[in-house]
Amino acid sequence: MEKYQTLLYYCYSTIANAEQFAADHLKFCKSLNLVGRIIVAEEGLNGTVSGKTSDCKIYMDAIHADERFAKTAFKIDDVNEPSFIKMHCRYKSEIVHSGLKDTSIIDPNHQTGKHLEPVDFMAMKDDEDVIILDVRSNYEHNLGKFKNAITLDIENFRDFPDKINELAQYKDKKILTYCTGGIKCEKASALLLHHGFNDVYQLHGGIIKYGKEAQGKDFEGKCYVFDNRIAVDVNNVNPTIVSVCYNCGKTTPKMINCANPECNEHITQCDECGDLLQGCCKEECTTNPRKRPYDGTGYYVKVPHQVNKKTELVG
């Protein structure tokens, strides 16, 4: 039986002529028959790729052989099949869009929160002078989050800077930030420091690494991932489901994209409502002529049409 892996990684490191690098890197990934999604910017790389275990090793070795990315930490999952359908490698202005005009104030290579390994994060998170801060989007923390974590009402990370003032009451606390793989925390913690939060930490490797090294203790629900698995289990110690069906309120761990590509809303939805609404978030979406066939997964290949960019699952 063929063995596959999915690799989650990022690296903040200056890339000259990043647009050309993205084009060349796409060809390299395709030569290894990898599938996935990589963002390239002058500030570095942000990627999730999937393929045969042997090809993934070649890819990781090549990344580490480049001195710019030698310190890249890969989160590796063994999977039964590739976690994407296609390979995308795109150039963008940032590998995590901050929404800031002056991005120099959140350069992780100059200032960022103190990195906490999973076991250290676990040891600190319940202290009285600690605040656990989820820096992910609504649809992510609605699916799962750390027990007692503070969440922010944001659709995308670029909304995070506008929420800093809501956290002012915690300036005398230790702030432990976390996200899926660690990349958003690099900028979130830097921004908190810039705004006068003095004791800021971040979960190194994010929720994914915490699940592997600390068995996911006290992470409630599932972790949203940006591939066709959509959600993965994290907690092997005291697991629970916290998400509820968008339509009926029944407890469910399942997340989908609305089958109407012109809506494409991220929602948690039980199987019964999914079957009833044909994978749509509401009745009106079922009549859209471009509605995608619902196969029970709620995952769709990106369609060549303008969709709701706030909630785009793939591409």
* Assigned domain for 204 exists: yes
* Assigned domain for 141 exists: yes
**How many domains does the structure of the chain reveal?**
3
For residue 305, pLDDT beyond 60? no
Residue 179 annotated in active site: yes
For residue 149, pLDDT beyond 90? yes
Same domain, 124 and 68: no
d(CA 220, CA 152): 17
The pLDDT mean for the chain works out to 93
Domain boundary among 147, 180, 213: 213
For residue 314, pLDDT beyond 50? no
* Assigned domain for 206 exists: yes
* Assigned domain for 81 exists: yes
What's the confidence (pLDDT) of residue 147? 97
What's the confidence (pLDDT) of residue 299? 83
Domain boundary among 40, 56, 91: 91
What's the confidence (pLDDT) of residue 25? 98
Catalytic pick among 29, 89, 179, 285: 179
pLDDT digits (tens, 9 = 90+) for 190-238: 999 999 999 999 999 999 999 999 999 999 999 999 998 889 999 999 9
Same domain, 87 and 112: no
**Domain range enclosing 50:** 4-91
> Are 205 and 227 in contact, with CB atoms under 8 Å apart?
no
Domain harbouring 118, CATH code: 3.40.250.10
- Label the pairing between strands 44-52 and 35-41: antiparallel
Same domain, 48 and 122: no
d(CA 315, CA 302): 5
Domain boundary among 163, 191, 213: 213
Please name the amino acid found at residue 161.
Answer: P
State percent of the chain over pLDDT 90.
91
What's the confidence (pLDDT) of residue 213? 97
Same domain, 116 and 87: no
What's the confidence (pLDDT) of residue 298? 87
* Assigned domain for 297 exists: yes
